[in-house]
Structure 1
């Protein structure tokens, strides 16, 4: 991968994390009035409709049968596991705490890239990833709830998300990103429908909840699209650490929507996350220059 490609992938990752937090925040607000699976279905209907409209507008309808590609379906199933685990815990754990636990995902991505794709990791990069995790924990400062059974769902989210991201490069080249996104969104909507029919008694949603799920659906489309592109145009070892910015976005959401003010430890954690990410960029740049000199 070239340096410009990695920089674009990093930017896509940072923005993707921001819009995912927006979607999760809408879900957390709506969970006060409606059951989980019904909200997943409402969000799914909004996101599927938006994505399908974009596919039509961009003339990609002919590619729609490719949504059943085995790698796309596999990514979708893993996303269902990750999303369901996260949203199930969202009603019981603060969004910043939950996000901090889920931030072990980049470590699993990097370890998986080393184990299954032979991407070099190195002790320094591993140290920086661990430093980023420490920073993320300082930002969210998980309390006693982190030991609960619900906190375990966040680790399931991290592992499933890492497996999803590692699977992305196996998707056939030339697959339209919107079609890949559509597969994930359809599976999430179907999960909401099945779960609602089996486990819940539907309630009449209010206007506020409908608007929240419409926004959650729109940001969900943007997030999945950007995340897919991130791992198609960038190296996993370079872009994965920037998933830590999810914690920063979550703290900002908590501050704006729920009145949670970050303390000195949280600010220190944000600095550690940023420094770890910048150091990895610097290491990759130095390694590329060394490789170029050796090749010359």
Structure 2
């Protein structure tokens, strides 16, 4: 077991990463009032790529000479990243921040299910039950067939599928592939997608100073979220640290109330609680199984 101080540091880094990602989301939602969708995606993407390249030069880790198999996987992963960005930001532009954040907390459940269905990973009945209950919680948030249901809830759900696909492809990459190379490729792909969309729409909206600051903030926060989350996974026990990703929901609730005057319904909060609880159970089960396997191998 990792030293307590390492685990505590890892938990703090994970919480910082989730805060950074949520502040990025808030910046993107705020900019939706003054900047068209594709233009916002393009500009944030360009700024993000520039920041990542500066960091890679300072810290190293960017390598382009990779096996053809890994480049194909990075290509598939980038396509999944583009799909996730499109549907997630579309939902973010139109739906409450806390609702969208609550829905994407189902990503660990979706990854576990995808691993079982497509990668042949063993998932016992307890985790299958947790997945089913977790997605029932998502239905409480989305509430299809009610007045609160919108197409943007579906967009958030679709983004969960794309992120799960992205993470499953990431698992197939060789160990020697630098994380920075993967991150730069994904950011460049999203920026290119936004640029093509902006060109197809025609015209260019002049940026107010506030909107430019919001986009710059979004870029800094998304890079910070990436760095903090990667650092967190390299410190302490992953199984202990990973559940702290759910602190993103607390940030989303707070920012939604403070910045956008959004107050989630009781059903949304109940659904979010179910999703988080089942996700935590899944982490707990995976930790126990990993320990049991380590004992058997020993």
TM bracket, shorter-chain basis: 0.7 to 0.9
Contact 2:52 2:180 in 1 (8 A): yes
User: 2:219: which partner in 1?
Assistant: 217
User: 1:18: which partner in 2?
Assistant: 19
Residue segments in structure 1 that go unaligned for 5+ positions in a row: none
Distance 2:213 2:73 in 1: 33
Deviation per CA, 1:227-276: give whole Å up to 9, x if none: 67789999999988776554443222212211234565566556545543
Change (3 A) 1:287 1:175: closer
**In terms of mean alpha carbon deviation, does 161-170 or 97-106 score higher?**
97-106
Residues 162-173 of structure 1: pairs in structure 2 closer than 5 A: 162-173=164-175
Q: Secondary structure at the match of 1:203?
A: coil
Residue 152 of structure 2 is aligned to residue 144 of structure 1 = no
Distance 2:234 2:115 in 1: 14
Alpha-carbon shift at residue 173 of structure 1 (Å):
1.8
Residue 116 of structure 2 is aligned to residue 114 of structure 1 = yes
User: 2:97: which partner in 1?
Assistant: 95
Residues 1-296 of structure 1: pairs in structure 2 closer than 5 A: 15-60=16-61, 63-64=63-64, 66=66, 69-134=71-136, 144-146=147-149, 148-225=150-227, 245-261=247-263, 271-295=273-297
Change (3 A) 1:235 1:159: farther
Residue segments in structure 2 that go unaligned for 5+ positions in a row: none
Distance 1:238 1:129 in 2: 20
Q: Secondary structure at the match of 1:174?
A: coil
Deviation per CA, 1:168-189: give whole Å up to 9, x if none: 0222222221221111111111
Distance 1:240 1:43 in 2: 27
How many residues are aligned here? 291
Distance 1:140 1:18 in 2: 24
TM-score, with length taken from structure 2? 0.79
Distance 2:236 2:169 in 1: 14
**In terms of mean alpha carbon deviation, does 46-55 or 192-201 score higher?**
192-201
Alpha-carbon shift at residue 77 of structure 1 (Å):
1.3
Contact 1:113 1:236 in 2 (8 A): no
Change (3 A) 1:291 1:169: closer
Change (3 A) 1:78 1:271: closer
Contact 1:106 1:241 in 2 (8 A): no
TM-score, with length taken from structure 1? 0.80
Alpha-carbon shift at residue 58 of structure 1 (Å):
1.7
Contact 1:51 1:178 in 2 (8 A): yes
Distance 1:249 1:175 in 2: 32
Aligned-residue CA RMSD (Å): 3.7
Distance 2:79 2:231 in 1: 18
Alpha-carbon shift at residue 208 of structure 1 (Å):
0.7
